[in-house]
Structure formats: C-alpha cells, structure tokens
Chains A and B, each alone.
Chain A
C-alpha cells in the first residue's frame, strides 16, 4: 500500500481529487476539443514515473469531435483493461507547443502497491537511487 495522500499514484492533473465521474471526464474532453486538441487514450501496468510510452488504445482521435464518442472509447478501454492505469492525453499541434497539454488518469487498479527505493552506496557518501515498482516484479499482464 502507498503511504501518500489517497494511497495512490498521483501522476496526471487530477489525482488529488476523488476519481472523476463520466460527467467530469466529459467536461474535460469538451475543454480539450474547444482548444482544438486531439485526445488519446493510453493504458499501462507499469506506472513508473519514467515510463513515458504507455500503450495506445488506438491513435489519438484527431477527427473525432464528439465528446460522447470519446467517452465511449474511454469506457471501451476500461472494459478491456479494468485493472490497468488508463490516462487521457490532449495533444496540441500549434506552433510553439506541439506537445501534450492535458493528461489525467481515468482508471486505476484496485490495489496500488507503489514503489520502493533501492540504494547503491558509492564513494564519498554518494548513493545511486533506483525507484522500483513492486508490480513489475511480475510479468506484463499479470501485475495487478
């Protein structure tokens, strides 16, 4: 169990708030669409803070402008991967940005064992740190 606020991984924009309802997720989708950002759905069972490339649940939906349609895709992903982390990312293609502008978690495993710190002591009191996810001790697909 994680000992932090809420006992959970706090990546993304809204992890300190109660889990988002479908209505709240839809409101955030509308905000992204209003800004002409494309929404993508990604899932993983390796939530290490440096794991950049979660699996894509299809390409970002550049041409889908209907919030209800996007929510259906999110729910499809949840049904397929109920015990995975799932996040929604909004991609901005405008000059000077060309990067994600939003990212928030919409699904998480029931139990989140979190991470440990492994220390390797070196000369001069120097310590090399490795942040290690307990879940990834098991093979992919069997972690949560």
Chain B
C-alpha cells in the first residue's frame, strides 16, 4: 500500500508491466466491509515468487487485472473493482522441515458491485474463472468464502428446505432412509421398479436413481418414471406412509430436463433429482422450477471429486455446499464419515453445518474459516451415501445427526433375505437407535448392544449384522483440517 501511495497516478499507469502488489491488489490495512464477498485461497507460489505478490496476483486475476498496465482503468472508479488481498499467512505444517512445500492462506475481499445478483455463474466466473491456470502460482485451492447477507438475499435458496420437506412427507424426529437402485445400469424399467417397490415397502422413505441413469438403450426415461411411480404408490398404500423415488431428470438440454420434470410432476412424484455436472445455471433453473411446482430437488454431486479432493489444488467441498444452498437444491450428497467415500469426520461436520445451520460461527477445526449468517435461506438436507450399513447406525447418528438422508443401497439390496428384509433391518436399526438416543443412553458406546437387542426379535436385522459385521472402510482422508486437533499438510 505504502508503495502505491508514493507513486503518482501518471507513474502508476505508465505503459508496461509492474507487480500486482503495486497495482493496488495488496492492501494489508484493508478492513473488509460487511457487504464484501471474502474468499480464502490456499496458495502454493512458484519458486521465487513472493507470497504477498502471489496473493495480489490471485486477487488481480479474479477481479479486474490483466498482465500489463492499461490506461482504460483510469476511466473507471477502479479502486472499487479491484479485489484486495489483505492477509497472507503460512499454512501450518507446510514448508521447510515438512513433507509439503510451503503454502499460504490468502484472504481476499471483493466489493459487492463486482457480482450480478442471483447468479452463481457470474460469481464463479470471477472467483474460479481464469485464476486457477495462472502461471505464478504452482497450485491454488479455494478453501472458503464468506457470502454477505446482501448478496445471499438475491438468491432463492432451497426450493423446499428441511422443514417443509419433513412437513410434506409427514416424517419427523429421525433421519430419512433411502437407497440407490442397483445395479446402476442395465435393468429394464419393469425390473427396476421391482427394486423400488421392494425397498419402499420394506421401510425406506426414498429410493433413488443413480447419477448416470438418464435415458439409455436398456431403459428410456418415460418407462422408468411410469414403473417407479407404480412402485411408489403401491408401497405408500402398503405402509400408509408418504414414499418417494428421486426421478433423475438429468439430460442433454434444459428443454429435455423440463420435459422430464413436468412428466414426473404429472405422475404425482414428490421429488426429482439432477446431477452437479449439469452446471450451476441449469441447477438454478431446476431449483426455480422445483419451487414453482412444489417439488423437492435432490442433487447428486457427480463430478465434484475431480476438483475437491486434493488438498493443494481445486476447491474445498464446503464451498460447493455454500453455492448449492444459494443455487437452491434441497438435498446434496455430503459424505458419510464411515462409508466408502472420502471424508474426514471434522471436515464433514463443517459441510453438514454449512448446509443445515441458520448461522455458522468460524470454526477452524471443522474448516469453517468465516462466520456465515445464512440470511434465512432454507436448510439443505445432507445425504449420506456409499458403503454404509445397519451395523453402523449408532456411528451414523452420532456423526451426522437426525436431519440427513441415510442411503443404504448395497446395505438394502444386498441383504441375504431379500430387498424388503434389507429395508426392514435398516428401519428397525434406525428407530431402535433414535429411541435409545432420546432415552439419554450413551448410544455411541452401547450401539452394538442396542442393535443386538433389537436383532433378537428382528430376524432381518440379525442377518444384516451378521453379513456386514466386519465391513469398514478405514483409509486415511486426503482432505483434512489444517488446525487442531491434528494439523496436516497436503499430500
């Protein structure tokens, strides 16, 4: 800042190339305004590049800068439009003496006027637009964002939200149960609906299309929708409960998606789904459609691990959680802790808090770098899916709470006594564990005992506990906390 002040304007805008730091993108004295968007990046500078210059470059390239001085800046109120890097600090456990090269956490503030209201596409075109390919940084990861209330209020938010979803389904006080139809690919519509019927009748609340079930030669979408709704209605009559099947409307064009969504509506489905890979704008469009048509919108996070898993480059999934809550989905897959997919318990708590709380305080342990007021945007229901089974019920409730969809795909359909038995086992395990929790028991410790007791009168649960008793997925997470209790560098 001092350097900038010493330069005359004429000097500053002389044609040529000057460091970003001296162009106005590094302002260590800057105090972010309540209306600023704030980002936090993990930067690995190229060898020989000063970290403050790297932070300034990221600020510049994600806002107004180009590589050289342009006189046309002087036609604008350019100080407002320049993003300001105001802090850069070394990441714990990186640099000399560790196995990871030196990284820095850089904090950057953006004026509200840099962004179009209600557009994730516009927000992300700046924040993760060009800057990730920038040569002066060796690797770059967007760790977290603080979205100002003023900007949040320009977004619809979840079409339905946890509260209204539960009221519509008439299901309170326990996690919802789901399953993904397996095998993912190859079943005909008629065979597919059989799996849906058995699982719902057995006791699940939802069954789900998988992310890549769209309209393939083995099963076209209309066929799937018709057979699934037969299954849903039959199971609803058999149980007296509201049931649903997430009909995946993902398709090649918006027109196709709207057509599929309208058909799902005309059949009386309570829920549809789509995939993250359709893109931010398409997701926002489907969220608006869902709000208008009283439909719950489930989002499968297909594709996210291509950029969210490695710790030094890409973006943290908590940022996706924030964007998707703004974009307006009602469900999103957010990790299981104990299942087969990536997920450190503390990191996953951070994702779940981001999706469900009305206000999240700063909490470095769970990776939440900023306090975030959610400005009454509805709550998103997280979905835990992938390699979980009834024998883990105590752990699942302990880590994930009760506002979550627990999806036991293999854990239902793979049951030795059949799909209905698999669903019964999951539902009995769930209800027994919720009852024990409410009674004030130390259910995490006593979990196996609680399950075994219920298995004495529930043969399907007994069989499930027997088959999957030794199944755990204990691999080290790659995306872990940088701060207490165990700080780690990236791998």
Contact = CB atoms under 8 A, between A and B. Distances in A.
Interface residues of B, dominant DSSP: helix
A43 to B, nearest CB: 15
A88 to B, nearest CB: 11
Contacts of B490: none
A127 B230 contact: yes
Interface string B247-279: 000000000000000000011100000000000
A131 B237 CA distance: 6
Contact of B239 (A9, A14, A125): A9
A103 B172 contact: yes
B238 A3 contact: yes
Interface in B448-482: 454, 457
Nearest to B437: A31
B438 interface: yes
A138 to B, nearest CB: 17
- Interface-centre pick from B163, B226, B237, B268 (highest chain A CB count, 10 A): B237
Contact of A49 (B241, B431, B435, B457): B241
A5 B202 contact: yes
B432 A17 contact: yes
Contacts of B266: 126
Contacts of B229: 127, 129
Contacts of A96: 163, 358, 379
Contacts, number: 117
Nearest to B439: A27
Given A49-B236, A101-B172, A117-B234, A10 B163 contact: no
Nearest to B163: A99
A102 B427 CA distance: 16
Contacts of B163: 96-99
B240 A49 contact: yes
A15 B435 CA distance: 11
A13 to B, nearest CB: 5
B240 A115 contact: yes
Contact of B428 (A17, A97, A116): A17
A10 B202 CA distance: 10
Contact of A28 (B358, B438, B454): B438
B380 interface: no
A42 B453 CA distance: 31
A51 to B, nearest CB: 9
A100 interface: yes
A91 B174 CA distance: 15
23 contacts: A2-B240, A4-B201, A5-B427, A10-B203, A10-B240, A13-B174, A17-B428, A17-B431, A17-B435, A31-B438, A49-B240, A49-B242, A52-B170, A98-B163, A99-B172, A100-B172, A101-B173, A103-B173, A115-B238, A125-B226, A126-B266, A126-B267, A128-B268
Q: Which 9 A-B pairs have the closest CB atoms?
A: A9-B240, A31-B438, A102-B173, A129-B233, A115-B237, A96-B358, A27-B439, A103-B172, A117-B237
